[in-house]
């Protein structure tokens, strides 16, 4: 495992954990504020990370 592989793994895990924490936070903010933009923002950003430019599925 090279240093680059390690950096890629750390960045990947950081993005995955950010999404795991962002989705419940978006639900809570939507429920608390009554404003659906939090939930819509989480869905749009998650979709862009999964299928946007630079992702394996979007390539």
Quick one: which of 31, 26, 18 has its CA closest to 43?
Answer: 26
What distance in Å separates the CA atoms of residue 32 and residue 45, rounded to the nearest whole number?
21
- Greater confidence (1 vs 54) lies with 1
| Residue 15 clears pLDDT 60, i.e. is over it | yes
Return the sign of the alpha-carbon dihedral for residues 23, 29, 31, 36. Answer: negative
Q: Judge whether residue 57 has pLDDT over 60.
A: no
Tens digit of pLDDT for each residue in 18-54? 778 877 887 888 888 888 887 787 777 767 666 666 6
Decide which of 57 and 33 is more confident. 33
pLDDT (average), residues 4-12: 87
């Amino acid at each position: 495992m090279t240093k680059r592989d390690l950096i890629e793994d750390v960045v990947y895990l950081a993005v995955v954990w950010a999404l795991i924490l962002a989705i419940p936070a978006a639900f809570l903010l939507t429920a608390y504020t009554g404003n659906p933009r939090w939930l819509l923002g989480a869905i749009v950003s998650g979709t862009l990370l999964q299928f946007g430019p630079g992702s394996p599925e979007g390539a």
